[in-house]
Amino acid sequence: MTTPSIVRLVTCGSVDDGKSTLIGRLLVETDSVPHDTLDATKKTRRPGSIIPAGEIDFSLLTDGLEAEREQGITIDVAYRSMSLLDGRRLIIADAPGHEQYTRNMAVAASRADIALVLVDSTRGIRPQTLRHLTICSLMGVKKIIVVINKMDVSGFDKSLFDSLVAELQLATNRLALHEVFFVPVSALEGDNVTFKSDRISWYKGNSVLEEVQEWRDQSSDSEHARLSVQLINRADNFRGVSGTISQGRFKVGEEVTVLPSERKAKLARIVTFAGELTEARSGDAITMVLEPDIDVTRGDYIERTKLYTQPADRFAANLVWIDEEELIHSRSYYLVNGSGMVPATVTNIKHRLDILDGSHQSARTLAMNEIGLVEIATDAPIPLTTYSDNRNSGNFVLVDRVTFNTVGAGMVVHTLRRATNITKHDYEVDKSARSKQKGQRAKLIWLTGLSGSGKSTIANALEKRLFGSGIHSYVLDGDNLRLGLNKDLGFTKEDRAENVRRVAEVGKLMVDAGLVVVVALVSPFKVDRDHAREQFASDEFIEVWVKTPAEICAQRDPKGLYKKAKSGALPNLTGVGQDYEPPTSAELVLDGTEDVAINVEKLIKTIL
């Protein structure tokens, strides 16, 4: 295998461990900094800086944001590059050390070959150091160089270095990090950064730069070949699919499979900007011409048929949660891998990982910067690989469906067996036939609103009207369902999400049976209602907001819930202790203070 032309490195560790200073010195001592930039670091000083005027403040070379310079911290990931002695290009990602910016560090680590994990010898090993080591392990970083920094403060005390190494080896062994090296350093004074220091005679290993330059990717070419389709390339008498090969190699004439459709074709031509190839390998950007010209779209994958990934809809994955709002299992998110996106639900949190001792803790949710093993179900089969096999096709991010913020970064551990053991059966008597037999159009009317808004009263009157008209219908009432199917659920955000999911699934079955289904459910969160809507055809789901002022609901208080909430006995009552997110595109809005008969008449006009 040829030596890669680019090596990617991430620096990590706790705040003030000296990451920016170390990288700044590496850049300066390898002549990788423009002279005008270097001159600026001699004139600029942070508040409280101890660097004498006229000398280089190395940390300024990587902190690009104004807030970083003002506060003396790293916030965003700063990317810099330099040349190694053998001609390879080193891309350095200086990751932030603050816990609140762990998400930035995780992104940088996901592409890194090498990690420099800094430890301030004067402060010892801190939780963020262990968190970063854990993330490096999960992200598949191949080589770890632990830099014990600020050794000059202790006079390069060997016993201090040895004690820190012994403590850190407990963590690296637990995390199964095999290629780990420890280097005593003074980033401020330059000892063991680019050259071996005469002041540390007891240390016999390499400097940081020497250790970086020794890294070689020893992995062999994978039999598994994959290309992610990024563009459909059309021209006169030409149609190809363009993308970059992320793993393995392709040869002209072999059979390939398009995923997730599993359509097969022959690879007729491999076209590049420089001309045609008979073979292409990992890292090459190419255009494939297939015979026959089967349907391929952006976000699909192409693999060799003799060893292709079976699409699945159930996965176990390590998940780093990076959002300020906690993870809510049973809530639908978007799962994004490459240019593909599919709705997905975290169905189970197997455990949360304790970064300090590696123990597995039971958990119902994950808070920001926490790491856990979860099970995920996607709405459609997708061809994710294990992360250990391919970092590109085994990773994903979860995106909030309302804010479109990235909330989690995941690494696939394995496909769940049940994903391939279940097959959908299509029966000849279908929804259309059942509806026709009843002489009606099956649909679901979803009534949402605060407790006491009048949902159940309206649902009851509506079903009486439908029943009297000979329409086959059924009411799914939130309280009634909590007496049986949903009796195990509480009123937390995650339980409410699961409550809505179950009701939607039951409603879907009833609509499939040809019924008109009326749902009366608080369902306070828009994202959960939107996910319920997606289970139905566009003309089958009617969202109805029973809009009643909160003070009127509290006056009615038919179940005594508002009285309990006022006394503190019911902290999660919607509209009091928990938010209610009104619909933004409901098909119908009813005034809950109007006469029930008037609201039922409006519903009948909408339904029929």
Task: Tell me which residues are annotated as active site.
Answer: 523
Q: Which residues pair with 239 in a beta bridge?
A: 234
Contact 141, 171 (CB under 8 A): no
User: Which long-range contacts does 361-368 make (Cβ < 8 Å, 24+ apart)?
Assistant: 364/329, 364/492, 364/494, 365/326, 365/327, 365/328, 365/329, 365/494, 366/319, 366/321, 366/326, 366/327, 366/408, 367/321, 367/326, 367/327, 368/100, 368/102, 368/321, 368/322, 368/323, 368/324, 368/326
Give the Å distances, CA to CA, from 3 to 115, 207, 211, 245: 19, 22, 16, 17
End-to-end alpha carbon distance in the chain: 68
- Which amino acid would we find at residue 458? I
Task: Please give the Cα distance from 462 to 464 (Å, whole number).
Answer: 5
What is the number of H-type helices and E-type strands within the chain? 16, 27
Closest CA to 443 of 534, 512, 522, 502: 512
Q: Please list the residues that pair with 303 across neighbouring strands.
A: 226, 257
Tokens 């392990």 correspond to: 137
Q: Could you tell me the two tokens for 475? A: 């009411």
Spatial neighbors of 483 by CB under 8 A, at least 6 apart, are none
The angle formed by the CA atoms of residues 269, 272 and 275, to the nearest 5 degrees, is: 85
Report the 10 Å Cβ neighbour count for 110. 23
208 in Cβ contact with 147 (< 8 Å) = yes
Other Cβ atoms less than 10 A from the Cβ of 23: the count is 28
Beta bridge partners of 304: 256
- Exposure string for 518-537, b = 16+ CB within 10 A, e = fewer: bbbbbbbbbbbbbbbbebbe
Residue count of the chain, please give it: 608
HSE-up of residue 507 (Cα within 13 Å, Cβ side):
32
Do the beta carbons of residue 389 and residue 346 sit within 8 Å?
no
The angle that helices 127-138 and 102-109 make with each other, rounded to 10 degrees, is 30
408: nearest Cα among 358, 345, 359:
345
List CB contacts of 336: < 8 A, sequence separation 6 or more: 396, 397, 398, 399
Give 420's Cβ-side CA count (13 Å radius): 11
- The residue type of 228 is S
**CA 315-316-319 angle, 5° bins:** 115
Contact 574, 580 (CB under 8 A): yes
